[in-house]
Chains A and B, each alone.
Chain A
Amino acid sequence: MRWFGRPDREYAEEIEEHIAIETHENISRGMTPEDAHSAARRTFGDPLAVREQLGVLRPLHWLGTLAEDIRYAFRSMRRTWLLTGMILVTLTAGIGLNTGVFTLLNALLLRAQVDKDPARFFSVYHQIWAPGGRLAASNTSYADYLAFQQGTQNLGDLAASFFQPRLMLDSEDKAVLVSCNFFQVYGPDRPVLGRLFLAQECATPGAAPVVILSEKVWATQFSSDPGIIGRTITLSQRALTVVGVAASPPGNGEGVIWIPASMDSTLDGKLLQNSTYLTLSGRLKRGHSRSEVESALRVIARQQDQLRPGQRSTLEVTDGAPIHRPGTDAAIGVLLAMGLPSLALLIACVNVSTLLLARGASRQREMAVRISLGAGKSRLVRMLLTESLALTSCAAALSLWLAYYFPAAVTRVVGDDSGPHDLSPDWKVFGYLAGIAFSAGCVAGLAPALESLKVNLSQSLKGLQTATDGAGSHRVRGFLVACQVALSLVLLAAAGIFVHSEYKRWSAGPDFETRRVLAVTVFLRTSKPETAGASFRELEDRLRAGHGVEAASFCGEAFIETLSGQQTDQVATPGARQMASRTEVSPEFFRVLGIPILQGRTFTAEEDRSGTPPVAIVTERFAKLFWPGEDALGKRFSGPRPLHGEPQEFLEVVGVARDSAAGLADDAQSQYFVPRRNANIAGTILLRFAGDEQALQRAVTRTVTASRHRMIGRPETLHTLMRQALVLPRLIVLWDSWRWFSPWLESMEWRPSPQVSARGS
């Protein structure tokens, strides 16, 4: 069979011959040639309609007519160039905005941020649950990592990393503790200079004092010195030899310094062996799949769970795209973020529809001629739709430019050091672009196409029917205008909600002191956790004696995370349950931050020292949720279910503090405060000060350094930390920017998961 069937001219010839034979027979019956021919034509019917019918029946006939339609579409676009220009601008704005936002979402959420072959990359999400279904950890311990790595050697490489945002005392750069196969998994494969880590460098803890610098660190701190390899640098009072320089990883504008995980001193002391802090990722060996890795890891996780009674692990392996991270509502977020641009595109389509409708009115004569010549209505609708699709295709081509430049522009506006995040469009973006261009073409073109076929043949041919005739076209125009008004109102309302919520968000700010409070996070260098409380108190006393310091207090690191609305535990009374965040604090905490105790008292020195009896200070919101209309003082509630068979904690409320909305979360969190545990080896000391901030920062740094403890990051005011909590992690910044497009995200309380923005361990 011929692909296109018999050509149309063959049918035309055959039909002509048919009529000729009939004519010949009519003549032999005694008719005049003219009458004979007319009668033959009458008997046959409309040859054009028959040919049309035969054409439709031909396989792939539409390809031929499509080519004709496209040629005709471009000719008519050229004829009405002004209208075409207006339509193109409207559609490009609509399609371009959509594609731009989608490109951004695609780059940040729909693909793994790795340097090489994302198809074989995988991410491991390991969650550890305590008895009672409480999430105990979302990361992996070093001991578990070693077990996982050994058990999956045949399936792929498994790498571990631990991002410490500002681990180093003497460097502003981000230090990442990594397993030695880190670069095999993430890429790049080759160093810019020197070498990457060797497998044996991770074999023995503390055996390889080496470091690899990212290109950015090499450029900013060492002026791209070609002789850097072999030089010794000091980080956290430890001499490390630079063995290589590697390309900066995607998505990190900051400089990165990679250190073998085996070099972490705390690993050396076995302190962190069972702490969960590592993030796992891997690269599949050829011929193996993610599900194989997942089942193998699950078996090992079950074995590891048996070593720790009461613990239960869940484990998921994904392709590393953030949208596939378990427990995130990213898919809903993507849909919501696409909501407003889609609405804008719909308005653009309705606009274009109105313009095409106006053009359709001026083409009624043309349509009348075509119909009277035998063109089928479906054929004409196809022709008109092809015209609008040709328009949207041109707009889509122009939108490609936007797809390339929009995300970069947004990241420039949002954060000036966005780094080499790969924002370029890929096949998903092109597919999306083709999809929305096609839909827009159909949406914008269908109503005008159907409308322009409603012609009164005789009047149109005589030029009597005008564009304003007909109740039908009035109805369509009225409908389109109503659509435009409705959609614009929705957009306007959305913009109003957005402006209102942003105003509230930025104008409110935290209602406790942040500018005059310096926070310094300290990691104790001690192998005896039981002395940790005493060490912290000693350090607090030394810092309190500093010039300009008015008060000092301890605060578990959770408080900082509470500010951004993360870290919650389930607490309960016999009759109710709720989620609340728990913060360990010392008695002066409320005075330092200026949070008034509305009822009851703060902790006593005895409670601070011994942690007994178990007491708590709750926020107003907490009290209102558990004991509405009652006095909360003296009431008891149970804390989160403990890990590893520790006894369940019951707390007595001794005070009610005012809610402390930080301005980052939408509402004040339900919070409760407990006296510090003396076994804490990490925590934040808050210093209320008056006077010069920078001088105090220097003095604090000196004091902590002299105490030999490790300071995480620089001492910063709470104000700065809270700003950084928004600005530092790239994802938070960008996710926040999407709120521009969808204020509903606000009400959905859609936020990045704690894993993304957790500061350190």
Chain B
Amino acid sequence: MPETKRLQLLPGTLEMLILQTLIFGPRHGHGIATTIQRTSDKALLVDHGSLYPALQRLERAGLMDSEWGISENNRRARFYKLTRAGRKKLTAETNKWEKLVRAVTGVLTTPQEEEG
């Protein structure tokens, strides 16, 4: 997909996406960014730089843990994994998101009522 067609993430959604990518197991920062891009069919643009402050916020909130490990390329990398609180938060956030999408979609797809 061309760069210009990529979508900017809505504020606050990056944290939810990060938690989602960790649901199948620990990943390092680069892995998280590429997973989001890949699973969104490259529609979502993740600014690699802004990923790390989000990771730090989630870690400080106790939603993930991190530790050093070895990457698939045999390089040292820091791996992040979900905590129990993170899983709960993800479920709650996903539900909220789905409700929001349904509501917005409902409004957008309903034929306009006639006035009067």
User: Is the CB of B47 closer than 8 A to any CB of chain A?
Assistant: yes
A5 and B52 form a contact (CB under 8 A):
no
Residues of chain B in range 85-99 having any CB-CB distance to chain A below 8 Å: none
CA distance A241 to B24 in the complex (A): 99
Interface string of A225-269 (1 = CB under 8 A from B): 000000000000000000000000000000000000000000000
Q: How far is the CA of A6 from the CA of B78 in the complex (A)?
A: 12
Query: Does the CB pair A46–B49 fall under 8 Å?
Result: yes
- Nearest Cβ distance between residue A13 and chain B, in whole angstroms? 8
- Other-chain contact of A17, B49, B56, B57, B71 (Cβ < 8 Å): B71
A228 to chain B, nearest CB (A): 75
Classify the interface of chain A: helix, strand, loop or mixed.
helix
Contact B77 A21 (CB under 8 A): yes
Residues of B within 8 A of A14 (CB): 29, 52, 77-78
Cross-chain contact A21 with B30 (CB below 8 angstroms): yes
- Contact residues in B for A6 (Cβ distance below 8 Å): 56
Return the contact of A15 from the options B52, B57, B75, B76 (Cβ within 8 A): B52
Q: Are A18 and B30 in contact (CB under 8 A)?
A: yes
Q: How large is the interface on A (under 10, 10 to 19, 20 to 34, 35 or more residues)?
A: 20 to 34
Q: Do B73 and A50 touch across chains, with their CB atoms under 8 A apart?
A: no
A residues in contact with B52, CB < 8 Å = 11, 14-15, 50, 53-54
CB distance from B45 to the nearest CB of A (A): 10
The answer, among A5, A45, A53, for a CB contact under 8 Å with B48, is: A45
Q: With A and B bound together, what is the CA distance between A57 and B52 in angstroms?
A: 11
Contacts of A49 in B (CB 8 A): 49
- Nearest opposing residue in chain A for B33, CB measure: A18
The answer on a CB contact under 8 Å between B30 and A45 is: no
Q: Does A114 contact B (CB under 8 A)?
A: no
Residues of A10-29 at the interface with B, using a CB-CB cut-off of 8 Å, are 10-11, 13-15, 17-18, 20-22, 24-25
Tell me whether B53 and A44 are in contact (CB under 8 A): no
List, in ascending order, chain A residues with CB within 8 A of B30's CB.
Answer: 17-18, 21-22
Contacts of B78 in A (CB 8 A): 10, 14, 17
Is A307 located at the chain interface by the 8 A CB criterion?
A: no
Chain B residues with CB under 8 A of A20: 75
How large, as a class, is the contact surface on chain B?
10 to 19
Residue B102, interface by CB 8 Å: no
Contact A21 B56 (CB under 8 A): no
- Assuming A1-B60, A44-B48, is B71 touching A21 (CB within 8 A)? yes
In angstroms, Cα B49 to Cα A351, docked, is: 44
CA distance A50 to B77 in the complex (A): 17
Chain B residues whose CB sits within 8 angstroms of the CB of A46 once the complex forms: 49
CB distance from B24 to the nearest CB of A (A): 19
A744 to B15 CA separation, bound complex (whole angstroms): 63
Whether the Cβ atoms of B53 and A54 lie closer than 8 Å is yes
Interchain CB contact under 8 A, A21 and B73: yes
Which chain B residue shows the least CB distance to A46? B49
Docked-complex contact B73 and A24, CB < 8 angstroms: yes
**Cβ contact within 8 Å between A17 and B76:** yes
Q: Given the known A-B contacts A54-B53, A57-B56, A57-B57, are A17 and B75 also in contact in the complex, defined by CB atoms under 8 Å?
A: yes
Known A15-B52, A53-B53, A54-B52; contact A5-B73, beta-carbon cutoff 8 A: no
The minimal Cβ–Cβ distance linking B44 to chain A, given in whole angstroms, is 14
Contacts of A5 in B (CB 8 A): 56, 60
CA distance A43 to B94 in the complex (A): 28
C-beta contact mask, B27-58 vs A, less than 8 Å → 1, else 0? 01110001000000000000111001100110
Please indicate which of the listed interface residues A1, A14, A20 has the most CB atoms of chain B within 10 Å of its own CB: A14
Give B72's nearest chain A residue, CB to CB. Answer: A21
How far apart sit A521 and B2, CA to CA, in the bound complex (Å)?
108
Q: Of the candidates A1, A25, A50, A58, which one forms a contact with B49 in the assembled complex, judged by CB atoms under 8 Å apart?
A: A50
Cβ contact within 8 Å between A57 and B53: yes
Give CA–CA (A24, B73) in the complex, Å.
8
Which residues on A sit within 8 Å (CB–CB) of B48? 18, 22, 43-45
Complex CA gap A198/B115 in Å reads 101
Residues on A with beta carbons closer than 8 Å to the beta carbon of B47: 45
CB distance from B32 to the nearest CB of A (A): 10
| B73 / chain A contacts, CB cutoff of 8 Å | 21, 24
Give CA–CA (A14, B68) in the complex, Å: 9
Shortest beta-carbon distance, A605 to chain B, in Å?
Answer: 97
Q: Mark A546-579, 1 if CB is under 8 A from B, else 0.
A: 0000000000000000000000000000000000
Contact B77 A17 (CB under 8 A): yes
Q: Give the one of B28, B34, B56 with max A CB within 10 A.
A: B56
Assuming the contacts A1-B60, A45-B47, A45-B48, asked whether A18 and B29 have C-beta atoms less than 8 A apart, the reply is yes
Name the residue of chain B whose CB is nearest to the CB of A28: B73
Q: Mark A143-166, 1 if CB is under 8 A from B, else 0.
A: 000000000000000000000000
Contacts of B77 in A (CB 8 A): 14, 17-18, 21
A-side contacts of B29, CB under 8 Å: 14, 18
Q: Mark A38-67, 1 if CB is under 8 A from B, else 0.
A: 000001111101100110011100000000
Chain A's nearest CB lies how many Å from the CB of B104? 31
The docked-state distance in angstroms from the alpha carbon of A695 to that of B99 is 109
**Residues from chain B with Cβ under 8 Å of A17 in the complex:** 28, 30, 71, 75-78
Residues on A with C-beta less than 8 A from B28 are 17-18, 21
- Please report the C-alpha to C-alpha distance between residue A18 and residue B76 in the assembled complex, in whole angstroms: 10
Q: In the assembly, what is the distance between CA of A44 and CA of B76, in Å?
A: 18
What's the Cα separation between A5 and B61 when bound, in Å? 12
18 CB contacts below 8 A, A to B, read A1-B60, A6-B56, A10-B78, A13-B76, A14-B29, A15-B52, A17-B71, A18-B28, A18-B30, A21-B30, A21-B75, A24-B73, A46-B49, A50-B49, A50-B52, A50-B53, A57-B53, A58-B56
The 10 closest A-B pairs by CB, nearest first: A45-B49, A21-B30, A44-B48, A50-B49, A18-B30, A14-B78, A17-B77, A18-B29, A53-B53, A24-B73
Interface residues of B (CB under 8 A from A): 28-30, 34, 47-49, 52-53, 56-57, 60, 71, 73, 75-78
Given pairs A5-B60, A14-B77, A21-B73, 5 additional interface contacts (CB within 8 A): A18-B77, A21-B28, A44-B48, A45-B49, A47-B49
